[in-house]
Amino acid sequence: MPIDTDVDRLFSLVKQKKKISLRAASKKLGEEKKIIESWAKILDEAELIEFDYSLNPIAGAYLKVKKIEKEDNKKTKTQSD
């Protein structure tokens, strides 16, 4: 049986929601926003998620899954054309 860490729970939540604010993730996981942000930084460094500040700078950062596979597929298509 796999063991889920708190960071795993955050990653699962971001994957499920596609995009979620730090505030909403904090409420959903029952942790302080600063804690969620530190977990998100770990996932960002691992290139699994990324911070998105483009929606509303006042609302703060959103988290979303990094789209690595899709970019790699585009590069492969472009190179083969």
Q: What is the pLDDT of residues 62-76, one digit of tens each?
A: 999 987 655 555 554
Q: Is the pLDDT of residue 3 over 80?
A: yes
- Residue 19 in any domain: the answer is yes
Q: What is the pLDDT of residues 8-62, one digit of tens each?
A: 999 999 999 999 999 999 999 999 999 999 999 999 999 999 998 875 667 778 9
pLDDT for the residue 54: 72
pLDDT for the residue 5: 93
- Residue 49 in any domain: the answer is yes
- Residue 1 in any domain: the answer is no
The encoded tokens of residue 36 equal 């969620």
Half-sphere exposure of 33 (CA within 13 A, CB side): 10
Number of domains, the chain:
1
Half-sphere exposure of 75 (CA within 13 A, CB side): 6
- Residue 53 in any domain: the answer is yes
- Residue 68 in any domain: the answer is yes
CATH of the domain at 64: 1.10.10.10
- Identify the domain containing residue 16 by its residue range: 6-80
